[in-house]
């Protein structure tokens, strides 16, 4: 599973409005609702699942990256949204620094292995400094998506 498989143009926010963690999570879940990946009726339940996970430990993993995630019975497949912030978002990250790239994903309940594989793939992808530089330079949604697609075809 790659981010290129999970994301479409409607699931990318090139410049997030959020300034802090909970606003960012809400903005990305709103994006999933707007793109039709999450039913509006299920939005609160999904937000609550992510909140519960986030309260155990921030998913701001350092290097300007956050990966909020949860399992939910409200989705049938893995769904994801990507947001970028040039100003940085206070996310209570492990290194205390703001985050610039956020991938929020939700996995169907009881798919623990899928959850772990998805989290590992996203973390590995964003831990590449070259990827972060390319995402920073990308001028619009199609060029952001192109970074994901280009990287998913490389060995």
Q: Could you give the residue numbers annotated as active site?
A: 69
Alpha helices, DSSP H, located in the chain:
3-6, 21-34, 43-56, 112-127, 129-137, 141-152
Which H or E run contains 60? strand 60-62
Neighbours of 69 (CB within 10 A): 21
The answer to whether residues 31 and 83 touch, using CB atoms and an 8 Å cutoff, is yes
């Amino acid at each position: 599973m790659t981010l290129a498989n999970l994301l479409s143009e409607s699931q990318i926010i090139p410049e997030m409005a959020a300034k802090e963690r909970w606003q960012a999570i809400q903005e990305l879940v709103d994006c999933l609702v707007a793109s039709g990946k999450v039913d509006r009726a299920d939005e609160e339940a999904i937000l609550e699942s992510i909140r519960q996970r986030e309260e155990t430990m921030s998913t701001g993993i350092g290097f300007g990256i956050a990966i909020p995630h949860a399992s939910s019975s409200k989705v049938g497949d893995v769904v994801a949204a990507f947001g970028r912030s040039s100003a940085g978002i206070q996310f209570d990250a492990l290194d205390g620094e703001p985050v610039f790239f956020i991938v929020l994903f939700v996995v169907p309940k009881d798919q623990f292995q899928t959850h772990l594989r998805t989290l590992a793939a996203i973390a590995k992808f964003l831990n590449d400094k070259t990827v972060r530089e390319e995402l920073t330079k990308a001028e619009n949604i199609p060029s952001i998506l192109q970074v994901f697609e280009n990287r998913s075809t490389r060995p």
